[in-house]
């Protein structure tokens, strides 16, 4: 019984990792909601973020000021002492590659 529980736990963790979003987070800015939200985390670089400025135009990458990182839940750059890792989330639409 303990072995079955352990195997189930391993399977749950494995499935969670397989389905995690791994893109850079650049939105395609293809929805009005993305224009209203405006800024999105760059999942590959904590010191930068994406900004939607026009409908159907890919977001532009902007850098945070020195010694800061972007926090998606705050939609702002904060000092490293305040910065906390957040799980990556797929944008509402993705930029065309």
pTM of this prediction exceeds 0.85: no
**Which domains, from first to last, does the chain contain?**
24-87 (2.170.140)
Bridge partners (DSSP) listed for residue 61: 50
pLDDT band at 1 (very low <50, low <70, confident <90, very high): low
Bridge partners (DSSP) listed for residue 41: 49
Q: Which pLDDT tens digit goes with each residue over 20-72?
A: 678 999 999 999 999 999 999 999 999 999 999 999 999 999 999 999 999 99
Q: Which pLDDT tens digit goes with each residue over 32-44?
A: 999 999 999 999 9
Which strands make up the sheet holding 48-51, listed edge to edge? 39-41, 48-51, 60-63
């Amino acid at each position: 019984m303990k072995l079955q529980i352990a195997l189930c736990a391993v399977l749950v963790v494995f499935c969670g990792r397989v389905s995690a979003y791994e893109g850079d987070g650049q939105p395609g800015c293809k929805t009005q909601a993305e224009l209203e939200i405006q800024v999105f985390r760059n999942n590959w670089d904590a010191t930068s973020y994406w900004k939607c400025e026009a409908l159907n135009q890919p977001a532009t990458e902007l850098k945070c000021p020195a010694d800061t990182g972007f926090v998606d839940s705050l939609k702002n750059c904060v000092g490293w002492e305040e910065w906390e890792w957040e799980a990556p989330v797929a944008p509402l639409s993705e930029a065309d590659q």
